[in-house]
Amino acid sequence: MGISEKGSLLPAPRTVAPRPRWKPSWAFFARAAALIIAIKLSCDGISMLAEEHETMTVSGQCPQVEPLFPSLTSPALSEMDTYITSIRFRDIAVARLAGAVQVPSPSFDDLGPVGEDKRWDVMYDLAAYLETTFPLLHDTLELEKVNTHGLLYTWQGSDESLSPTVLMAHQDVVPVAEATIGQWTHPPFSGFYDGQYVWGRGASDCKNILIGIMEAVELLIGAGFEPKRTLILSFGFDEESKGLEGAGHLAPVLVDRYGKDGAAILVDEGMGTSSVWGSHFALPGVAEKGYIDAEIIIRMPGGHSSIPPAHNAIGVMSELITMIEANPYEPHFHPENPYLSQLQCGAEHSPDFPSSLKKLLPSWKEEGSTTKDKLAQEAAKAGDDIKYLFTTSVAPDVISGGVKSNALPERVRVLVNHRVNVGDRPSGVEAKLKSLAEVVAEKYNLTVQAFNDEPETPRSIKLNVERDVLESAPVTPTSVDGVTPYAVLSGTSRAIYGEKLLIAPGMSTGNTDTRYYWDLTKHIFRYDPGWDPEDEGLGGIHTVDEKVSVLAHISGVQWYSMFIRNMDEADLARAKYVLTPKSRLFSKRALDSHFHFRFTYN
């Protein structure tokens, strides 16, 4: 490629050159057999291969895979790895990301149909920018435009028997409120670079991921990489307004093309890396909470404000809202909640893991025990950002009622948002709201019409469900007992950031476009792989002064380029065991040897 450059920002990834072919001797087989027996008898207690397992893993509740590097390389790919860490690439990457931020692409909750509402047209500008900025990608990959603005890129692999890798991001951003523009340190669509951060709406949610994926693919093409496994890039355009027009149309195309469970893995935006309990944890999201918006309408007689009743519809609605807020959901763990796995990882690996949690954790599995609730209540003390990972949230967000200062309100409406705990159901939210409404209705002689098609009556509390009720997402498998998607993702992260980085299943309190892709693959990860240890915040997403660390952005490009190659080599149907002095599958202490031994099994 001719792209080597002095000046390094990141440690260059190690590469593993292909080993020359050789003919084993009888002495080799004897020594190899002795090595295997030694491993079997080792006091390290390394578990041996079992039919139900596809690979060797570290013992314990939170196994960590060894760093995973692509084994197939070339001078151009090695040069690409070095180039990503260079000053020259930093300047190019900053310019490309800043340019994307400078193209406003907000999506709104009240957008009309695509093609009719002109506010969608900003997406044309962003698509044109991407085409100009990444010429190799657009010359090499097939681009389909789904529902006008959904961008679906396909890099066809040479082996059609391999299920594709799917990488996702969204093109749209949260709108910037006019009243807040003056509060920004740098204008919200300036893409200003201060030497450490790129500032602007979308810089961290999630044009950094959109541009990072495309950067990685552009570099791989330039280095002559030709995939065996098909790579899909699926970019929606209305994730910030529930994704129905973007991901809601893109996902069915892919399911129809590749079939149910037809993709090997899907990685979308999501959790990143955080310092927790004295350790650094990468937390790829493997689950999402459910979602339900409940509309509550209270109808009561109107009249002149000079002759008011003791309580009008606004007062009664206020009482009901107060009752809803006074009866929150309790923290509660269900066995499938990934935060339990994160707690297990902390207990096993982190020096500052709280002793109070460590005492409660071993017995959480006891069926019928109240220990699960005690554990959740103790864990919730860390703060609301932790509590709501295993607690259903309730938030009255929109309220309206009344039309004039001298007229009693006849109709008052409130919209209450709920994010439903993993393991619970939206139907349970409906039942709880109904029971609270009945208490208020009895007090004020109103009827309750709960979640049915009955019309509103003059003295009633009407409960409705807004569209897009969402059950909790299926939980992604996180086994590393084999060549699993989670193992590949984990090994790539530890290759980029080192073995001190721990990987644990994570989840966020929000939802992503992955809600539409559940049928495409069981292996869905919501993960932002870019990491700057000096800046682990959320980057001001959805608020004033959104920004992203350039170091984090570039490390994300490095991750995507390596992950694509690692997935290309991953044999997800078979496990390959390699014994080397730096084996990925066995304890280094058990491998005090200079022999290389490879075998496979089905």
How many domains is the chain partitioned into structurally?
3
Do 323 and 402 share a structural domain? Answer: yes
Do 445 and 425 share a structural domain? Answer: yes
Q: Tell me, yes or no, whether 371 lies in a domain.
A: no
Model confidence pLDDT, tens digit, residues 94-135? 999 999 999 999 999 899 999 999 999 999 999 999 999 999
The pLDDT, as a whole number, for residue 540 is 78
Q: Tell me, yes or no, whether 154 lies in a domain.
A: yes
482 vs 499: CA distance, rounded Å:
19
539 vs 97: CA distance, rounded Å:
15
303, 466 Cβ separation under 8 angstroms:
no
The pLDDT, as a whole number, for residue 537 is 67
Phi and psi for 567 in degrees, rounded to 5? Answer: -65, -35
Which residue, 230, 108, 242, is CA-closest to 174? 108
Do 448 and 324 share a structural domain? Answer: yes
Do 520 and 437 share a structural domain? Answer: no
Do 217 and 125 share a structural domain? Answer: yes
Phi and psi for 390 in degrees, rounded to 5? Answer: -140, 30
The pLDDT, as a whole number, for residue 525 is 98
Average of per-residue pLDDT across 259-288: 96
The pLDDT, as a whole number, for residue 594 is 24
> What is the domain extent for residue 216?
75-270+509-569
Q: Tell me, yes or no, whether 348 lies in a domain.
A: no
Q: Tell me, yes or no, whether 484 lies in a domain.
A: no
459, 300 Cβ separation under 8 angstroms:
yes
Element of type H or E holding 524: strand 524-527
460, 452 Cβ separation under 8 angstroms:
no
Instruction: Return the structure tokens found at 171.
Output: 């093109």
Do 579 and 558 share a structural domain? Answer: no
User: Which of the listed residues 465, 495, 528 is the one where a domain comes to its end?
Assistant: 465
Q: 587 pLDDT exceeds 70? A: no
51 vs 462: CA distance, rounded Å:
57
User: Which of the listed residues 430, 465, 500 is the one where a domain comes to its end?
Assistant: 465
Q: Is the peptide bond before 206 cis (omega within 30 degrees of 0)?
A: yes
Q: 12 pLDDT exceeds 60? A: no
Instruction: Lowest mean pLDDT of 37-46, 194-203, 212-221, 354-363, name the range.
Output: 37-46
Model confidence pLDDT, tens digit, residues 320-370? 999 999 999 999 999 999 999 999 999 999 999 999 999 999 877 665 456
363, 371 Cβ separation under 8 angstroms:
yes
Residue 409's identity, in one-letter code, is P
pLDDT range class, residue 467, cuts 50, 70, 90: confident
Instruction: Return the structure tokens found at 296.
Output: 């509550």
Placement of tokens 């929606």 in the chain = 236
Model confidence pLDDT, tens digit, residues 132-147? 999 999 999 999 999 9
359, 73 Cβ separation under 8 angstroms:
no
Model confidence pLDDT, tens digit, residues 502-561? 999 999 888 899 999 999 999 999 999 999 998 876 667 889 999 999 999 999 999 999
Torsion sign, CA atoms 359, 361, 366, 370: positive
Q: Which residues are annotated as a binding site for Zn(2+)?
A: 170, 205, 240, 268, 542
Q: Which residues are annotated as a binding site?
A: 170, 205, 240, 268, 542
List the catalytic residues: 172, 239
Do 129 and 94 share a structural domain? Answer: yes
Do 313 and 223 share a structural domain? Answer: no
Q: Tell me, yes or no, whether 102 lies in a domain.
A: yes
Do 301 and 191 share a structural domain? Answer: no
Q: 48 pLDDT exceeds 70? A: no
Predicted model pTM: 0.84
| Secondary structure class of 447 (helix, strand, coil) | strand
Do 548 and 402 share a structural domain? Answer: no
Which residue, 129, 137, 138, is CA-closest to 104? 129
Q: Tell me, yes or no, whether 339 lies in a domain.
A: no
Q: Tell me, yes or no, whether 489 lies in a domain.
A: no
Q: What is the CATH number of the domain that holds 302?
A: 3.30.70.360
191 vs 215: CA distance, rounded Å:
17
Do 298 and 412 share a structural domain? Answer: yes
The pLDDT, as a whole number, for residue 474 is 96
The pLDDT, as a whole number, for residue 5 is 39
Q: What is the mean pLDDT of the chain?
A: 86
489 vs 527: CA distance, rounded Å:
10
The pLDDT, as a whole number, for residue 364 is 77
CB contact burial 537-559 (16+ within 10 A = b; e otherwise): eebbbeeebbbbbbbbbbbbbbb
Q: 389 pLDDT exceeds 60? A: yes
Q: Tell me, yes or no, whether 54 lies in a domain.
A: yes
13, 78 Cβ separation under 8 angstroms:
no
Q: 27 pLDDT exceeds 80? A: no
Q: 296 pLDDT exceeds 50? A: yes
DSSP state of 582: T
Phi and psi for 132 in degrees, rounded to 5? Answer: -70, -35
The pLDDT, as a whole number, for residue 535 is 82
Do 538 and 447 share a structural domain? Answer: no
Average of per-residue pLDDT across 239-263: 97
Higher pLDDT, 370 or 580: 370
